[in-house]
Amino acid sequence: MDEKGKFGKIAFIGERELSIGFKLVGIEDVFVSDSKTFPELLKELYYSGKYGLILASNTFAGSLDRKFFGMLSVSVSPLVVFVPVNPTGEEEGISDLARRVLGIKMDLGGI
């Protein structure tokens, strides 16, 4: 929480196509990235102290070093959630992810 008792801003980092969608739903801090720029940009957002929630495309999660990825998996401030791009097979869908992480059920119309 910041000095005013608020939880911080929400950011998204990922592919251009997803970035457009997150902008449309009202997330102001959207960062387009690729596998080369993703690790450093995510670290910059994580350590900035400005964000309470960082949504990140799971496409680039493999480009992170193990130590940092492990730290992200247990972090709650900021909370980093990897958004599945194309849920198939055993990957979890966005609504399942929200239910697990946030404890709420969301109907996203088949997303």
pLDDT of residue 1: 44
pLDDT of residue 94: 58
- Element of type H or E holding 45: helix 38-48
Q: What share of the chain is helix, strand, coil (3-state, %, to 5)?
A: 40, 20, 40
pLDDT of residue 95: 60
pLDDT of residue 52: 93
pLDDT of residue 109: 54
Burial of 39 (0-12, 13-18, 19+ CB in 10 A): middle
- Domains of the chain and CATH, by start: 9-102 (3.40.50.10580)
Ordered per-residue pLDDT tens for the chain, 111 residues: 444 446 789 999 999 888 888 888 889 999 999 989 999 999 999 999 999 999 999 988 889 999 999 898 888 889 999 988 765 544 455 566 656 666 666 555 554
pTM of the model: 0.70
